[in-house]
Each structure stands twice: as structure tokens, then as C-alpha cells.
């Protein structure tokens, strides 16, 4: 559970080492979400990845874990002020103390961090999306900045690679949406475009069922197929980076595709069960990704 910002920073002064440890512990406490692409991160980049992950995780929790839209917006506004202070060299929160080192070393602009906060604020204000383009617009802030941050760490700053990364990150976000239809509906959020629901004859109240109707299954099949197409568009990025990042990119893509395959195995009935990628499957994905790298060297 995320802590109130004042609880974290009000009475403590963090050294750089303590701030790094704070970020590492936060990252490892969510390790199931951090393993698919993290085992092959070069040692010199690992603490920077922890710092970025901690920022993303804490920001996300401010949007989802406080139980009140008003409180989430209040805390996200305070978090944005902390980010601004970080870029002025006035960081006080442990995540920003650690992150400031990463920002300086890799010359990371403020924009991707701000865009993530924008997405989490949007979740408090907008719970329905009329068109697929609106959903993609949300992904531009909620998912795509993460890919840009990873590319900065590995020394890639060009728009071409960032665009390819956007396809993959958007696809990962969409796979998560289709995986979590029931969970999101319980907190009054629907990320499936309303125009698609109307096209397939699905009502919002249909998501209250214990099993998916035929219409819901057809709707999810349509979403899964379009998401596969985005993964295909992003996959060429693997050929345009060097070293261990190739493994990470393959692993993230295969992990997202595994979620889609899990939905297919359930015959698209995501109301009866949430499809997940098992730990064993994650390690198979890593082994496959490593093998592909070694074969193609």
C-alpha cells in the first residue's frame, strides 16, 4: 500500500544510499511484475532501473490504492510538485533523491515522468472511452513513456526507436486491459471502446455476469487480434538495439503475447477467470529470448 507523501518525507532526511535502498526494496517487493525483463539488465544499470520502476510503481499506487478519487488527485498533484522540485535540484522524497542521480547521468527529460502522472490523473476523471483512438491516447501517457525511459538508460534517444517502442508498450497496456476487464469494471472503469461494445451488442451490465456471453467473447477476440498487430509492429525494435536489451524486449513482447494466448485458452471468457502468466512460463520466455539472442549473434 502506498504511503501518504507526508508520511514518507515529513520527518526523515534520506542519504543517497538510503534513497537507492528505498527504491530497490520497493521494486523487489513487486518482483512478480519486475522479473520478465529484468534478470538480464546490466549490473551498472540495475539501480537506475530500480529508481525508474519505483517512480512508476509509486505513481501508479497513488492513482489506484488510496480508495478516493479526490485523495488520489490531491496526492498526484503533490507528487507532480515533487517531480518539479527534483528537476530544480531540490528533491526530498527518497524516490526523487535516487531518481535525480539517474536523470542527471542519462540526461532524461521531464516529459515522460509527467506523462505518467497525467495518465494516473486521467484515471480519476475518465472511466469510459468512446473510441479506440481515445484508448490509444491514454496509452500514450500510461505506457509509452516507460519504454522511452528504458531506451534512455540504454543510450537510445531517437524518435524512430521510440516509435517502435510505443507499439510494444501500447500493446502491453492493452493486453493488461483485456486481462483485467472484470477487475477494472469492479472499480467502475471500462477501457474497451464503447463503439466496439455497441458494434458487438455488449452492454456494460453484461460485465456483471459470472460468465462471458457469446457477444463478449467476440468482442474480446477482436481486441486480442488488434493487439497482436501492435506487437508485430513493435517487434522490429529488437533488431535495432544491441546487447542484453534484445533479451528484455523479446521477453516483454513474448510475455504480452502469453497473456493474449491465456485469454484465447479461456475462450475469451475473462469474467470466469483472470488469465495469468505463470512463473514457469515467465522463465520459459526468458530462456527462449536468450536462446534467440545467442542463435542470432
- For the chain, give the percent of residues with pLDDT over 70: 86
Whether pLDDT at 252 is above 50: yes
**If you average pLDDT over residues 212-241, what whole number do you get?**
97
Distances (CA, A) of 217 to 43, 158, 201: 44, 39, 11
Residue 207: CB atoms within 10 Å: 20
- 20-32 pLDDT per residue, tens: 999 999 988 875 5
The rounded distance, in Å, linking the Cα atoms of 4 and 10 is 10
Q: What is the CATH superfamily name and number for domain 126-297?
A: Farnesyl Diphosphate Synthase (1.10.600.10)
Q: What average pLDDT score do residues 174-202 get?
A: 97
pLDDT at 275: 87
Tally of CB atoms within 10 A around 261: 16
What is the tens place of the pLDDT at every residue in 169-182?
999 999 999 999 99
Question: What are the grid coordinates assigned to 182, written together?
Answer: 472484470
Please state, in angstroms and rounded to a whole number, the distance separating the CA atoms of residues 99 and 48: 7
The answer to whether the Cα torsion of 108, 249, 174, 24 is positive or negative is negative
The residue to which cell 475462450 is assigned: 267
* DSSP label of 30: T
Q: Residue 20 and residue 6: Cα distance in Å, rounded?
A: 19
What is residue 286's predicted lDDT score, i.e. its pLDDT? 54
Distance CA 109, CA 112 (A): 7
- Domain edges within the chain: 1-125, 126-297
Rg (CA), the chain: 19
Helix/strand/coil for 111 = helix
Residue whose C-alpha cell is 516529459: 111
Quote the pLDDT of residue 191.
98
Residue with the three cell numbers 525483463: 37
Task: Report the chain's terminal Cα–Cα distance, integer Å.
Answer: 43
Same CATH fold, 126-297 and 1-125?
Answer: yes
CATH class for the domain made up of 1-125: mainly alpha
The share of the chain scoring above pLDDT 90, in percent, equals 77
In this prediction, residue 274 carries a pLDDT of 93
Instruction: State the Cα–Cα distance between residues 249 and 144, nearest whole angstrom.
Output: 14
Residue 42 has pLDDT above 90, yes or no: no
Amino acid at each position: 500500500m502506498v504511503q501518504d507523501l507526508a508520511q514518507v518525507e515529513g520527518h526523515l532526511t534520506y542519504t543517497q544510499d538510503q534513497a537507492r535502498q528505498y527504491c530497490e526494496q520497493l521494486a523487489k517487493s513487486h518482483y512478480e511484475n519486475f522479473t520478465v525483463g529484468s534478470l538480464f539488465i546490466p549490473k551498472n544499470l540495475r539501480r537506475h532501473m530500480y529508481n525508474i520502476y519505483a517512480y512508476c510503481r509509486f505513481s501508479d499506487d497513488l492513482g489506484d490504492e488510496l480508495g478516493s478519487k479526490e485523495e488520489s488527485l490531491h496526492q498526484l498533484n503533490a507528487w507532480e510538485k515533487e517531480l518539479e522540485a527534483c528537476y530544480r535540484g531540490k528533491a526530498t522524497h527518497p524516490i526523487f533523491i535516487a531518481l535525480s542521480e539517474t536523470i542527471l547521468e542519462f540526461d532524461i527529460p521531464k516529459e515522460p515522468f509527467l506523462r505518467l502522472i497525467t495518465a494516473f490523473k486521467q484515471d480519476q476523471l475518465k472511466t469510459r472511452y468512446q473510441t479506440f483512438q481515445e484508448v490509444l491516447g491514454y496509452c500514450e501517457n500510461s505506457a509509452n513513456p516507460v519504454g522511452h525511459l528504458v531506451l534512455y538508460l540504454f543510450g537510445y534517444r531517437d524518435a524512430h526507436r521510440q516509435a517502435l517502442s510505443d507499439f510494444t508498450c501500447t500493446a502491453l497496456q492493452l493486453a493488461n486491459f483485456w486481462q483485467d476487464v472484470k477487475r477494472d469494471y469492479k472499480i467502475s472503469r471500462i477501457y474497451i471502446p464503447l463503439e466496439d461494445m455497441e458494434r458487438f451488442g455488449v452492454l456494460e451490465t453484461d460485465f456483471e455476469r459470472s460468465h462471458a456471453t457469446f457477444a463478449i467473447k467476440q468482442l474480446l477476440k477482436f481486441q486480442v487480434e488488434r493487439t497482436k498487430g501492435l506487437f508485430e509492429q513493435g517487434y522490429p525494435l529488437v533488431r535495432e538495439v544491441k546487447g542484453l536489451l534484445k533479451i528484455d524486449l523479446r521477453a516483454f513482447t513474448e510475455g504480452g503475447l502469453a497473456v493474449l494466448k491465456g485469454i484465447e485458452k479461456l475462450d475469451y471468457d475473462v469474467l470466469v477467470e483472470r488469465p495469468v502468466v505463470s512463473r514457469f512460463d515467465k522463465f520459459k520466455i526468458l530462456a527462449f529470448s536468450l536462446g534467440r539472442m545467442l542463435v542470432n549473434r
